[in-house]
Amino acid sequence: MRSSIRRLSLAAIACLAGAGSVAAQQQDFSAVEITTTKLSPTLYMLVGEGGNIGVSAGPDGVYLIDDQYAPLSEKILSAVKAISDKPVRYVVNTHWHGDHTGGNENMGKAGATIIAHDAVRTRMARGQEMPLFKNVVPPAPPAALPVVTFSDKASLHLNGETANLIHVAPAHTDGDVIIHWPASNVIHMGDTFFNGIFPFIDAGSGGKLSGMIEAVETVLALAGDETKIIPGHGPLADRGDLTRFHEMLLTVRERAMAAKSAGQTAEEWAASNPFADLESEWGKGFLKAPLFAKVVYSAL
């Protein structure tokens, strides 16, 4: 339990830090182990350090949803090898953050085609600033950029089933994509869902709290009681976990809107620690309640 909490907090820090940042480069990945969970005859979830990875493996080959950090590519590929001896043909990025796209360059060199929303390529190519965390992410090397991009929806027809790639209104960022496999009854939500921890909303990348709530509602409409939901961070989830996350976000938005209409600044409001009562359930990651209040206020 302790090590999984530690992993959550490292993952969250890493999420904030991005791919090329000093924090990511200094992080020690040597002790990271990749664990594999089978979700359906074709789908798997890999957990290491950074965003949770989805794997589809079957007669047509392998494709990944997200690829964590560059120093983990070899470990990720050996975990994939244990599932299938076929090559990785595609990687879908759920959004641009470096803990989800850091392996792109290695995967591309190994022969994979990178697929993402248009905004992911734009933001990776340009480099990003994250002022809330005084962090600058440099432009990604050209080989790490998505080669196939889309604006709204795309589908992958491989391994005997369809994966629907669905862009949602700006939520965690403005380039978020969720992946739905109706036949396997599995959904990968990227960072529109942090299971059991306060989520980061990257307002500097166009993220919005209301968009995150809408994305969650989109998935609640798609999911049934048996649906397996892969969150961007945290353990494998079900509809009940996502419902609790939804309720927390509604509470959070209501309090933030009230503070805003009362004319409070982000600093004043955060100083009052408005989410202190939520800390024990949701504060196990990097974002503690006062900082989460600032994140929320910036994303209203």
Q: Treating both helix axes as pointing N-terminal to C-terminal, what angle do 239-261 and 209-222 enclose, rounded to 10 degrees?
A: 150
Q: Closest approach of Cβ 162 to Zn ion, in Å?
A: 26
Q: Closest approach of Cβ 158 to Zn ion, in Å?
A: 25
CA–CA dist 147, 150 (Å, integer): 10
- 198-257: contacts with Zn ion (CB under 5 A): none
Q: Binders of Zn ion: how many residues, by CB under 5 A?
A: 3
Taking residues 177 to 196 in sequence order and writing x for each that binds Zn ion by CB under 5 A, - otherwise, the string is --------------x-----
Q: Closest approach of Cβ 14 to Zn ion, in Å?
A: 9
**Burial grade of 243 (CB within 10 A; 0-12, 13-18, 19 or more):** middle
Which of 30-38, 97-105, 130-138, 277-285 is the region at the interface with Zn ion (rule: CB under 5 A)? 97-105
Count the Cβ atoms, other than its own, within 10 Å of residue 250.
12
Q: Which is nearer to Zn ion, 68 or 184 (CB)?
A: 68
Q: Which is nearer to Zn ion, 47 or 158 (CB)?
A: 47
E strand map for 27-158? 35-38, 43-47, 53-58, 61-65, 88-92, 113-117, 128-130, 135-137, 148-150, 153-158
CA–CA dist 189, 167 (Å, integer): 11
Q: Closest approach of Cβ 95 to Zn ion, in Å?
A: 6
**Nearest residue to 212 via CA among 200, 229, 222:** 200
DSSP for residue 48: S
Q: Which is nearer to Zn ion, 97 or 180 (CB)?
A: 97
Is 15 one of the binding residues for Zn ion (CB under 5 A)?
Answer: yes
Q: Which is nearer to Zn ion, 97 or 228 (CB)?
A: 97
CA–CA dist 210, 203 (Å, integer): 12
| Residue nearest Zn ion by beta-carbon distance | 97
**Burial grade of 265 (CB within 10 A; 0-12, 13-18, 19 or more):** exposed
Q: Which is nearer to Zn ion, 174 or 191 (CB)?
A: 191
Which of 1-9, 35-43, 93-101, 129-137 is the region at the interface with Zn ion (rule: CB under 5 A)? 93-101
Q: Closest approach of Cβ 245 to Zn ion, in Å?
A: 15
Q: Which is nearer to Zn ion, 17 or 32 (CB)?
A: 17
Alpha helices for the chain (secondary structure H): 2-17, 22-26, 73-81, 98-101, 104-109, 118-126, 209-222, 239-261, 266-271, 279-282, 289-298
- 102-131: contacts with Zn ion (CB under 5 A): none
Q: Which is nearer to Zn ion, 15 or 17 (CB)?
A: 15
The residue within the footprint of Zn ion, chosen from 97, 123, 188, 239 (CB under 5 A), is 97
Q: Closest approach of Cβ 199 to Zn ion, in Å?
A: 9
Q: Closest approach of Cβ 159 to Zn ion, in Å?
A: 27
- Amino acid at site 120: V
CA–CA dist 93, 22 (Å, integer): 22
Applying CB under 5 A, which residues contact Zn ion?
15, 97, 191
